[in-house]
Structure 1
Amino acid sequence: MPIVLITGANRGLGLEFARQYAADGWTVIVTAREESPELSQLGVRVEQLDLNDLDQVARVGDRLDGPLDLLVANAGTYGPGAVDDANAAAEWGRTFTVNTIAPYLLARAVLPRVAEARGKLIAISTRMGSIADNSSGGYLAYRSSKTALNMAWRNLALETRSQGVIATMFHPGWVKTRMGGRSAPLEPEESIAGLRKVIAGLGPKDAGEFFQWDGARVPW
């Protein structure tokens, strides 16, 4: 049975990814800073991971045995809303660690396992990371860290395609989660079902591309 590793799965989109893949019979490994009752009920394997600890991130591959079919790098943080003093700037740097550096380092750490399966590396990004789509400004830390994630993942796609690995980025839509808020139009179940359908259909030509949850391309 296929194996998926999902980061940030203690709530929101990550938890829904875990729920749906587990229901379809996948072996599900999730990472979270702490276990939640919801994860316990799913019966998935939980690995403690703090994305601020890059030494820990770099060793995630050591915890895995055998091929890994899919990595979903889902964990992320908003960071400060504005960056106008030294404290906010330091938080901006930590946002880059969690949203950009740690996912890339994690992907490199598990790459031998994914290459063994000729699998997929998926980064959950956001349309807010699109430079072409930014007409409102705001959310500097979040936007800039996700834009950087897109570039890092594009590089990753180019570096790994010769190994049969497909690396792609996704915008999950505006979803009713703690981060998305109650006014978001999409339910987590719909977003994740759409994402899973598109992920399952990815081919080599899609490596390094940026899609949204329904398969439409997102402008850079």
Structure 2
Amino acid sequence: MDNLIPMRTKLLVILLLLLGGVYIVLIAPKGRRRARQAASSPIIAAGTPSAESSHDHAASAARRTVEITQLESEATDERAGEMANRNNNPVFYQNATAGVMRKRMPDYLAPMKDWNLSERDEANVFQELHDLEYHFAERTMQFTANPLPVSRERTALYHQMQADHKADEALVEARISALVGSDRARELIQLRNDLQKRRMDELKRSVGIKVD
């Protein structure tokens, strides 16, 4: 049988077998090692300048700002099932605000119980606090729905929203001052802000954002 196979063919087969053995023993392990090293190495090597420029860094900061604003919007949302129709919907704002006020009522009543307010003055104080929460909900939810992408323009809108809220807060504090005095009005506004911060801190922790 061996005589039927030409010597040249035998030599070719032997050569191919030898080359295959060299590849399996020497070359293939190195290739697998390089592949493992490439998979475990970071895309940007240490000391190599990142492709992210200062503009990208600013965009990243703006993106985090928008994420926080989204959380603020969710903080006013006490009825998650109505999320789809919340924007530009006064009924939703009213329901969300009512939910917030129900939760905060005991905290507001704690200092007020010793103020000897008439029922009318107490109702007026709560109405002012309610209106402040309503406009806060309206601004944050409309901002969240704004189609502008993360950008300097969107960040500017965020700061404008914050400024509008501060102006509204000052107006409400002045109105409450006329009912209970400036010190008590300031105490209530500070209490409202502390409660809002507490709620925001809870939301931040729930999504893994570090709270100072």
Q: TM-score, normalising length from structure 1?
A: 0.28
Query: Which structure features the higher share of strand residues?
Result: 1
Query: Which structure features the higher share of helix residues?
Result: 2
Q: TM-score, normalising length from structure 2?
A: 0.29
